[in-house]
Structure 1
Amino acid sequence: MSDLFQWFQSQNGDVDITSLTIADIPGHGRGALALKDLPEGFTLFTIPRELTLSTRTSSLPGRIGKPAWKHFGLDKGWVGLILCIMWEEAQGSSSKWSGYLSSLPSSFDTPMFWNSADLQELQGTAVVDKIGKEQAERDYNGKLLPVVQSRVDLFPPESLSEHYTLHRYHLTGSRILSRSFHVEPWMGGDDDVSDDGSQGPDEAVAKMDVDAERSVVETGTIPGSSETTKELNDELEGPTDDEDDEDEDADDPADVAMVPMADMLNARFGSENAKLFYEEHHLKMVTTKPIKAGEQIWNTYGDPPNSDLLRRYGHVDLVPLEPPLAGLGNPADIVEIGADLAVFAAKKDSPEKLQDKIDWWLEVANDDTFVIGTDCQLPEELVSFARLLFLPRDEWEKVRQKSKLPKPKIDAQVLSVAEDVLSRRINEYSTTIEDDEALLALENAQPLSLNKKHALIVRHGEKRILHGTLQHVNQLQAQAQSSIGGNNKRKNRDGAEVSGTKGKKARS
């Protein structure tokens, strides 16, 4: 990594090479290691804002021109940034980012590059429908190629087969997905200073804090009634033109930036010991706690579940879990459950048509997916939705008039729906939890390929959540039955005692 350090310093980046190094770390790929004991608040390196690579800093958008940039749709989503990076890479040593671009990975272990057999191992998980390969290819053919073919002065025809192929498009998109930061323009001003004109350290940190997520927030989903939910916009695409017009607060694609040096730090759940901060002209990587010599310097990805870690970065986290789960896993793991499964379950016991309630829920709650975490508790939103589906007509009319969601109170009907939903969700996987545990037990003796091992860890983590939640539901059902049975026994016992007393009195 000496070449990267030399390039970084030649571009006015400041790095303390006596304090850290970039090295290959077993099990973690390349990462940053502390060369000596580092105190909290120590600045590891400083990056000039103009050294970040985005559609704001690359000269390509200016060369193409703003009208053409918008005409080809490069101002929406990530296509513009992908093209900027591909173009800068095609410039070779004449690009100011040449030393940085040559350090970026040329292959990924993410599902975007898996074959169909390996992808089958992810059936049922939250990964498959979010890979977005088809959407990315539509963007490549519909947005990137037209502008490339229209400007032979910027994109010589002989360079297309080397620098602007579909494979390189996927590769560049994956670099952004796994390594980019959300860097907004500096908003400092009068509010950033205290009454005496100075800026204290605590205030500075508060103003400088960079979004912990290393990639753009994913686009949401638009629910359908009883149909299987489908993500409408792939993460690489960002919001559609219509959505962008409707939502003035939507993320600006120009805020997505590659940040040299900062993206060399790895991350692990709960391990963050350094964080990226920004000032008016620079970004700084600063330690957030003391780090011992030889320890890895960890940034944060925001502690996502293994399904997202695998999809974005090509790895998974395994750390000790807390009850109700046990063993190793990712404490941030989740399972996504479509609202359509609750509708299917409710239809079995409800003779009325549910479409009005479904439409109202989608309008008011705007939520067609429920999320269960490693605490294995039923989501309040799922409980509220299940209660809505069973509301009698008069109560339903009151709820609709008040536009107020039903309280998430668990009752027998909710538990029945939850049991059915969880069972249906478990059946979406192609293997059972017992199958997965058998494979995990044999993994040391019969090692799996990296892709299959990662898929196994992701789906097993999700199944543990589902089975743990189902067990919790069954316990609640048993407690309810026991309570009913206990009440009946007490009533019978009371009645027998009264009869006996009367009998004794009669005999006396």
Structure 2
Amino acid sequence: MSAPLKRHASNDAESNTTKLSTTQSKDKLLNIFIGWLSENGFNVNPKVIVTKEGSCAQYGLVAVEDIDEQEVLFQILRPLLLSPETTVIADVLEKEEDHIQSESGWVSTILALLYEYNNPSSKWRPYLDLVLDFKELDLPMLWARSEREDLLQGTGTNETVEKDLQNIEKEFEMVVLPFIKRHPDLFSKSCEDIELYKRMVAFVMAYSFTEPWSSAQDEEEDEENSGSSQPMIVPLADILNHVAKNNAHLTFENEVLKMVAIRNIRKGEEVFNTYGELSNQHLLHMYGFAEPYPNNHYDTVEIPIKLLVHAAQDVIGYSEDAFSRKKKVLHEMGLYADGVTMVVGIDGILSEEETYQTLKILTMSKEDLDVLEENDGWLEEEDESKEESLNFQHIKLLPDQWKEILSRCAKVTLQQYKDSIEEDSKSLSDCTKLTSRQKYSLYTKYGQKQILHKLTSACLK
């Protein structure tokens, strides 16, 4: 993952690759950081430089010579990772491990970061001085609630952020604050500020990497643990900007982490990592930006299954008893519940099994529902072989009633947005008048609406 101040590569930014600076004398912090990299064995390939010029946003890594596929661009020795194991207060965190457990699993990492951020002599000082700029943190969790509600209506992002904030505040009051107060020799009074803690959470959310468990632990440890490891801060790697079709990848080895070119990179091109196969909603939520339609081929819209169920009621008009029975069956199957969604991507419905099962039950006759209730579970295996693909090309093959329900569901979802797709298109015609928050929120809404219109169109065929 990378920093919230990082952005995707826009068309304008991709063409801006000629003004490369050979000196960084105007940027004292960058010079100090580059010196720190050299002193700490990062072995930065001389074919790349850290710079603002030629980068699509803030700092980035730009090629000053042609780079071949599989070339190592830089490495990070494991002691230089900022984590609960490498911080100065590692012993304290280990000793109090049982007292700083939390649902997020991030507390020890955030406490390590909080301590090092406030430590003038931290060995990560040159890195933190360059990268940890709270003025650049612009994730929705740091926006005013009124602005989130206005800009993100209908996207699902605001609801996710509200849950995050509730969990963060609970975690701070019950776990973090008591720890800080137990160690006044390590943390000043300023660290007791919930707003500072929120920014630390945002920093970890946007900057941190999580090591693949298989490469971090052996098989015995894998069996004993939940399968995920602590997030860690990886200096320099988190400076790389994001694009879905990245040209570099971070590898994890026993002694070092390495950033490796995964395709040829030409002189003047920026080096890009990727945050993963993330929709605009998740990019905005975690990093504070989104990609313009149709650049993000991982974009999705998530529709609550409950909304699909109520769309079926609109189409079919169940009796009260029939509707109650169907909801009960779906609930027992784990489908009619908060957080369960129908995920629709740019090529069709991605949550095929859950959507198929739901539609099957919603259109099931009373007799078949009786049989299903007797079986007390999912549809039998013989039905699974009959499932049709739910991509847009094959939706036309579904029963008409299924298509009516899907179409109704998409239309109801479209009504939840503040503006129409036509109004969004007009606003997008001149993005220069928009703030970054308005622009990225608009990218998110417009992309989702395009997907929903594709779904309604597929149901007409």
Regarding TM over 0.5, the answer is yes
Q: Which residue of 1 aligns with 2:112?
A: 84
Q: CA deviation at 1:287?
A: 0.9
Counterpart residue type for residue 310 of structure 1: L
The answer as to 2:345 corresponding to 1:345 is no
Residue deviations 1:144-189 (CA, integer Å, cap 9, x gap):
111111222222xxx222x452232122211211111112578599
TM-score by length of 1: 0.73
Residue deviations 1:193-250 (CA, integer Å, cap 9, x gap):
xxxxxxxxxxxxxxxxxxxxxxxxxxxxxxxxxxxxxxxxxxxxxxxxxxxxxx9663
Per the alignment, in what secondary structure is the counterpart of residue 103 of structure 1? helix
Please say if residues 75 and 253 of structure 1, whose CA atoms lie closer than 8 Å, have aligned partners that are also in contact.
no
Which of 284, 293, 298 is the equivalent residue of 2:272?
298
Name the CA distance, whole Å, in 1 between partners of 2:139 and 2:443.
Answer: 14
Tell me: CA distance 1:333–1:109, structure 2 relative to 1, closer, same or farther (3 Å): same
Residue deviations 1:228-279 (CA, integer Å, cap 9, x gap):
xxxxxxxxxxxxxxxxxxx96634452x111111111111122x11111122
Q: Which residue of 2 aligns with 1:424?
A: 412
1:437-448 matched pairs, under 5 angstroms: 437-444=425-432, 447-448=433-434
Tell me: CA distance 1:40–1:365, structure 2 relative to 1, closer, same or farther (3 Å): farther
Please say if residues 262 and 285 of structure 1, whose CA atoms lie closer than 8 Å, have aligned partners that are also in contact.
yes
Name the CA distance, whole Å, in 1 between partners of 2:307 and 2:444.
Answer: 22
Q: Which residue of 1 aligns with 2:31?
A: 2
Counterpart residue type for residue 403 of structure 2: L
Q: Which residue of 1 aligns with 2:439?
A: 453
Please say if residues 274 and 288 of structure 1, whose CA atoms lie closer than 8 Å, have aligned partners that are also in contact.
yes
Per the alignment, in what secondary structure is the counterpart of residue 21 of structure 1? strand
The answer as to 2:66 corresponding to 1:37 is yes
Name the CA distance, whole Å, in 2 between partners of 1:52 and 1:173.
Answer: 17
Q: Which residue of 2 aligns with 1:467?
A: 453
Please say if residues 273 and 299 of structure 1, whose CA atoms lie closer than 8 Å, have aligned partners that are also in contact.
yes
Name the CA distance, whole Å, in 2 between partners of 1:4 and 1:79.
Answer: 27
Which of 114, 118, 128 is the equivalent residue of 2:158?
128
Aligned length: 402
The answer as to 2:388 corresponding to 1:412 is no
Name the CA distance, whole Å, in 2 between partners of 1:139 and 1:124.
Answer: 28
Gaps of 5+ in 2: 1-29, 389-397
Per the alignment, in what secondary structure is the counterpart of residue 108 of structure 1? coil
Which of 177, 180, 189 is the equivalent residue of 1:160?
189
Q: Which residue of 1 aligns with 2:50?
A: 21
1:367-406 matched pairs, under 5 angstroms: 368-377=340-349, 380=352, 381-400=354-373, 401=375, 403-405=377-379
Name the CA distance, whole Å, in 2 between partners of 1:186 and 1:418.
Answer: 40
Q: Which residue of 2 aligns with 1:194?
A: none
Q: Which residue of 1 aligns with 2:287?
A: 313
Tell me: CA distance 1:20–1:330, structure 2 relative to 1, closer, same or farther (3 Å): same
Please say if residues 327 and 336 of structure 2, whose CA atoms lie closer than 8 Å, have aligned partners that are also in contact.
no
Please say if residues 268 and 303 of structure 1, whose CA atoms lie closer than 8 Å, have aligned partners that are also in contact.
no
The answer as to 2:146 corresponding to 1:98 is no
Tell me: CA distance 1:43–1:415, structure 2 relative to 1, closer, same or farther (3 Å): same
Tell me: CA distance 1:311–1:378, structure 2 relative to 1, closer, same or farther (3 Å): closer
Please say if residues 61 and 69 of structure 1, whose CA atoms lie closer than 8 Å, have aligned partners that are also in contact.
no
Q: Which moved more, 1:83-92 or 1:372-381?
A: 372-381
Per the alignment, in what secondary structure is the counterpart of residue 46 of structure 1? strand
Per the alignment, in what secondary structure is the counterpart of residue 59 of structure 2? strand
Counterpart residue type for residue 448 of structure 1: L
1:482-497 matched pairs, under 5 angstroms: none
Residue deviations 1:58-89 (CA, integer Å, cap 9, x gap):
242412553x3312436952122111101012
Name the CA distance, whole Å, in 2 between partners of 1:188 and 1:165.
Answer: 34
Which of 20, 40, 55 is the equivalent residue of 2:84?
55
Q: CA deviation at 1:439?
A: 1.5
Tell me: CA distance 1:356–1:19, structure 2 relative to 1, closer, same or farther (3 Å): closer
Name the CA distance, whole Å, in 2 between partners of 1:175 and 1:385.
Answer: 39
Please say if residues 60 and 84 of structure 1, whose CA atoms lie closer than 8 Å, have aligned partners that are also in contact.
yes
Name the CA distance, whole Å, in 2 between partners of 1:85 and 1:378.
Answer: 37
Tell me: CA distance 1:116–1:464, structure 2 relative to 1, closer, same or farther (3 Å): same
Q: Which moved more, 1:362-371 or 1:450-459?
A: 362-371
Please say if residues 377 and 472 of structure 1, whose CA atoms lie closer than 8 Å, have aligned partners that are also in contact.
no
Tell me: CA distance 1:305–1:70, structure 2 relative to 1, closer, same or farther (3 Å): same
Q: CA deviation at 1:330?
A: 2.0
Name the CA distance, whole Å, in 2 between partners of 1:139 and 1:13.
Answer: 35
Counterpart residue type for residue 172 of structure 1: M
Residue deviations 1:94-137 (CA, integer Å, cap 9, x gap):
x2222222122313122122223431111010311222223212
Per the alignment, in what secondary structure is the counterpart of residue 372 of structure 1? strand
- Flag the structure with larger Rg: 1
Please say if residues 208 and 233 of structure 2, whose CA atoms lie closer than 8 Å, have aligned partners that are also in contact.
yes
Please say if residues 22 and 264 of structure 1, whose CA atoms lie closer than 8 Å, have aligned partners that are also in contact.
no
Counterpart residue type for residue 330 of structure 1: N
Gaps of 5+ in 1: 192-246, 322-328, 476-508
Name the CA distance, whole Å, in 1 between partners of 2:63 and 2:361.
Answer: 55
Counterpart residue type for residue 105 of structure 1: L
